[in-house]
Amino acid sequence: MIDYILIILNYTQLLIEENYTLALMIYFLFCISFFFLSLPGGLIVTLSSGFFFGFYIGFLINIISITIGSLFFTVLSKYYFINYFNKYLSKYTDKLNKIIKKSSYEYLILIRLIFGIPLIVQNLFISTLEISKLKFIISSIIGFTPYFLIFSYAGDRISNLLEIKYFSIKNFFSIEIILVLIIFAVIIIFRIFANINLNKN
Protein backbone atom coordinates (compact mmCIF):
# COMPACT_ATOMS: atom_id res chain seq x y z
CA MET A 1 0.00 0.00 0.00
CA ILE A 2 2.83 2.41 0.87
CA ASP A 3 4.40 1.90 -2.55
CA TYR A 4 1.11 2.71 -4.30
CA ILE A 5 0.78 5.87 -2.24
CA LEU A 6 4.30 6.91 -3.22
CA ILE A 7 3.46 6.36 -6.90
CA ILE A 8 0.46 8.69 -6.52
CA LEU A 9 2.67 11.23 -4.76
CA ASN A 10 5.22 11.10 -7.57
CA TYR A 11 2.49 11.89 -10.10
CA THR A 12 1.29 14.68 -7.82
CA GLN A 13 4.77 16.20 -7.82
CA LEU A 14 4.84 16.16 -11.63
CA LEU A 15 1.37 17.71 -11.83
CA ILE A 16 2.34 20.50 -9.42
CA GLU A 17 5.10 21.53 -11.81
CA GLU A 18 2.59 21.75 -14.70
CA ASN A 19 -0.56 23.07 -13.01
CA TYR A 20 -0.36 23.99 -9.32
CA THR A 21 -4.06 24.77 -8.84
CA LEU A 22 -5.26 21.57 -10.51
CA ALA A 23 -2.73 19.54 -8.50
CA LEU A 24 -3.95 21.17 -5.28
CA MET A 25 -7.59 20.32 -6.03
CA ILE A 26 -6.85 16.73 -7.05
CA TYR A 27 -4.58 16.16 -4.06
CA PHE A 28 -7.21 17.58 -1.70
CA LEU A 29 -9.83 15.18 -3.09
CA PHE A 30 -7.31 12.34 -2.81
CA CYS A 31 -6.75 13.17 0.87
CA ILE A 32 -10.48 13.22 1.60
CA SER A 33 -10.88 9.82 -0.09
CA PHE A 34 -7.80 8.47 1.68
CA PHE A 35 -9.04 9.43 5.14
CA PHE A 36 -12.60 8.35 4.34
CA LEU A 37 -11.31 4.86 3.52
CA SER A 38 -8.96 4.99 6.55
CA LEU A 39 -6.13 3.49 4.54
CA PRO A 40 -2.70 2.72 6.06
CA GLY A 41 0.04 5.27 5.39
CA GLY A 42 -1.60 8.31 6.95
CA LEU A 43 1.72 9.68 8.20
CA ILE A 44 3.15 9.67 4.66
CA VAL A 45 0.11 11.54 3.31
CA THR A 46 0.13 14.17 6.06
CA LEU A 47 3.87 14.73 5.63
CA SER A 48 3.39 14.99 1.86
CA SER A 49 0.86 17.80 2.27
CA GLY A 50 3.51 19.93 3.95
CA PHE A 51 6.15 18.81 1.46
CA PHE A 52 4.09 19.69 -1.64
CA PHE A 53 2.27 22.82 -0.52
CA GLY A 54 4.19 24.22 2.44
CA PHE A 55 3.34 24.37 6.11
CA TYR A 56 0.23 26.57 6.05
CA ILE A 57 -1.60 25.15 3.03
CA GLY A 58 -0.42 21.64 3.91
CA PHE A 59 -1.88 21.98 7.39
CA LEU A 60 -5.22 23.20 6.04
CA ILE A 61 -5.36 20.33 3.54
CA ASN A 62 -4.65 17.81 6.31
CA ILE A 63 -7.08 19.14 8.91
CA ILE A 64 -9.96 19.80 6.51
CA SER A 65 -9.62 16.57 4.52
CA ILE A 66 -9.41 14.29 7.56
CA THR A 67 -12.39 16.02 9.17
CA ILE A 68 -14.51 15.73 6.01
CA GLY A 69 -13.39 12.16 5.32
CA SER A 70 -14.05 11.08 8.91
CA LEU A 71 -17.44 12.80 8.92
CA PHE A 72 -18.51 11.00 5.73
CA PHE A 73 -17.31 7.69 7.15
CA THR A 74 -19.12 8.23 10.45
CA VAL A 75 -22.39 9.27 8.79
CA LEU A 76 -22.32 6.21 6.52
CA SER A 77 -21.42 3.97 9.46
CA LYS A 78 -24.48 5.20 11.35
CA TYR A 79 -26.72 4.21 8.46
CA TYR A 80 -25.13 0.90 7.48
CA PHE A 81 -23.32 -0.51 10.53
CA ILE A 82 -24.86 1.07 13.61
CA ASN A 83 -27.69 -1.49 13.82
CA TYR A 84 -25.15 -4.32 13.78
CA PHE A 85 -23.11 -2.71 16.57
CA ASN A 86 -26.15 -1.86 18.66
CA LYS A 87 -27.36 -5.43 18.42
CA TYR A 88 -24.36 -6.58 20.46
CA LEU A 89 -23.17 -3.41 22.20
CA SER A 90 -26.34 -1.43 22.90
CA LYS A 91 -26.09 -1.78 26.69
CA TYR A 92 -22.56 -0.39 26.59
CA THR A 93 -23.24 2.40 24.08
CA ASP A 94 -26.30 3.55 26.05
CA LYS A 95 -24.16 3.94 29.17
CA LEU A 96 -21.43 5.68 27.19
CA ASN A 97 -23.88 8.14 25.68
CA LYS A 98 -25.16 9.05 29.15
CA ILE A 99 -21.62 9.60 30.42
CA ILE A 100 -20.42 11.48 27.35
CA LYS A 101 -23.54 13.63 26.96
CA LYS A 102 -22.34 16.35 29.35
CA SER A 103 -18.68 16.34 28.22
CA SER A 104 -18.93 15.24 24.60
CA TYR A 105 -16.40 17.78 23.33
CA GLU A 106 -13.76 16.71 25.84
CA TYR A 107 -14.25 12.98 25.21
CA LEU A 108 -14.09 13.36 21.44
CA ILE A 109 -11.02 15.59 21.59
CA LEU A 110 -9.32 13.05 23.86
CA ILE A 111 -10.09 10.23 21.39
CA ARG A 112 -8.43 12.24 18.62
CA LEU A 113 -5.45 13.08 20.83
CA ILE A 114 -4.57 9.49 21.72
CA PHE A 115 -1.85 8.76 19.19
CA GLY A 116 -1.72 5.23 17.81
CA ILE A 117 -5.43 4.42 17.67
CA PRO A 118 -6.25 3.70 13.99
CA LEU A 119 -8.53 6.27 12.40
CA ILE A 120 -11.08 3.62 11.41
CA VAL A 121 -11.35 2.47 15.05
CA GLN A 122 -11.84 6.06 16.24
CA ASN A 123 -14.55 6.74 13.67
CA LEU A 124 -16.37 3.45 14.22
CA PHE A 125 -16.45 4.11 17.95
CA ILE A 126 -17.70 7.68 17.47
CA SER A 127 -20.39 6.46 15.07
CA THR A 128 -21.99 4.54 17.96
CA LEU A 129 -22.39 7.76 19.98
CA GLU A 130 -25.20 10.28 19.85
CA ILE A 131 -23.42 13.49 18.89
CA SER A 132 -24.20 16.28 16.46
CA LYS A 133 -22.23 16.84 13.26
CA LEU A 134 -21.14 20.26 14.54
CA LYS A 135 -19.66 18.75 17.72
CA PHE A 136 -17.95 16.10 15.62
CA ILE A 137 -16.36 18.70 13.34
CA ILE A 138 -15.22 21.08 16.11
CA SER A 139 -13.82 18.35 18.37
CA SER A 140 -12.07 16.62 15.45
CA ILE A 141 -10.39 19.86 14.35
CA ILE A 142 -9.21 20.62 17.89
CA GLY A 143 -8.06 17.05 18.54
CA PHE A 144 -6.21 16.60 15.24
CA THR A 145 -4.60 20.06 15.20
CA PRO A 146 -1.55 19.39 17.45
CA TYR A 147 -0.41 16.41 15.38
CA PHE A 148 -1.09 17.99 12.01
CA LEU A 149 0.79 21.14 12.98
CA ILE A 150 3.78 18.92 13.73
CA PHE A 151 3.46 16.70 10.64
CA SER A 152 2.81 19.60 8.25
CA TYR A 153 5.84 21.42 9.61
CA ALA A 154 7.96 18.26 9.33
CA GLY A 155 6.81 17.74 5.74
CA ASP A 156 7.72 21.33 4.90
CA ARG A 157 11.27 20.63 6.11
CA ILE A 158 11.71 17.46 4.05
CA SER A 159 13.72 17.87 0.86
CA ASN A 160 12.47 14.92 -1.25
CA LEU A 161 9.83 12.17 -1.35
CA LEU A 162 12.34 9.46 -0.48
CA GLU A 163 12.83 11.08 2.93
CA ILE A 164 9.09 10.79 3.53
CA LYS A 165 9.16 7.02 2.97
CA TYR A 166 11.88 6.55 5.60
CA PHE A 167 10.72 9.29 7.95
CA SER A 168 10.89 8.29 11.61
CA ILE A 169 8.52 10.04 13.95
CA LYS A 170 10.79 9.17 16.88
CA ASN A 171 13.50 11.42 15.49
CA PHE A 172 11.17 14.39 15.20
CA PHE A 173 9.24 14.34 18.47
CA SER A 174 11.17 16.30 21.07
CA ILE A 175 10.63 16.16 24.83
CA GLU A 176 9.03 19.62 24.64
CA ILE A 177 6.45 18.51 22.06
CA ILE A 178 5.60 15.36 24.02
CA LEU A 179 5.18 17.40 27.22
CA VAL A 180 2.84 19.86 25.50
CA LEU A 181 0.69 16.99 24.18
CA ILE A 182 0.61 15.34 27.61
CA ILE A 183 -0.38 18.60 29.31
CA PHE A 184 -3.11 19.14 26.73
CA ALA A 185 -4.44 15.61 27.31
CA VAL A 186 -4.29 16.03 31.12
CA ILE A 187 -6.32 19.26 30.90
CA ILE A 188 -8.97 17.49 28.82
CA ILE A 189 -9.10 14.55 31.27
CA PHE A 190 -9.36 16.96 34.22
CA ARG A 191 -12.30 18.72 32.57
CA ILE A 192 -14.02 15.37 31.97
CA PHE A 193 -13.72 14.36 35.63
CA ALA A 194 -14.77 17.84 36.75
CA ASN A 195 -17.95 17.58 34.67
CA ILE A 196 -18.66 14.08 36.00
CA ASN A 197 -18.40 15.35 39.60
CA LEU A 198 -20.66 18.32 38.82
CA ASN A 199 -23.25 16.00 37.33
CA LYS A 200 -23.17 13.79 40.44
CA ASN A 201 -23.73 16.81 42.66
pLDDT at 198 over 50: no
SS3 (DSSP) at 133:
helix
Mean pLDDT of the chain, nearest integer: 80
CA gyration radius, the chain: 18
The whole-number pLDDT of residue 142 equals 87
Helix axes 104-113, 119-127, angle to 10 degrees: 160
Say what the pTM is. 0.81
Residues 36-86 pLDDT 10s = 998 888 889 999 999 999 999 999 999 999 999 999 999 888 777 666 666
Q: What is the pLDDT of residues 123-137, one digit of tens each?
A: 988 887 778 888 899
Write down the pLDDT at residue 95: 62
Which residue type is seen at 171?
N
Helix, strand, coil content of the chain in percent (nearest 5): 85, 0, 15
Which long-range CB contacts under 8 A does 91-94 form with residues at least 24 apart? 93/128, 93/129
Q: What value does the mean pLDDT take over residues 1-29? A: 88
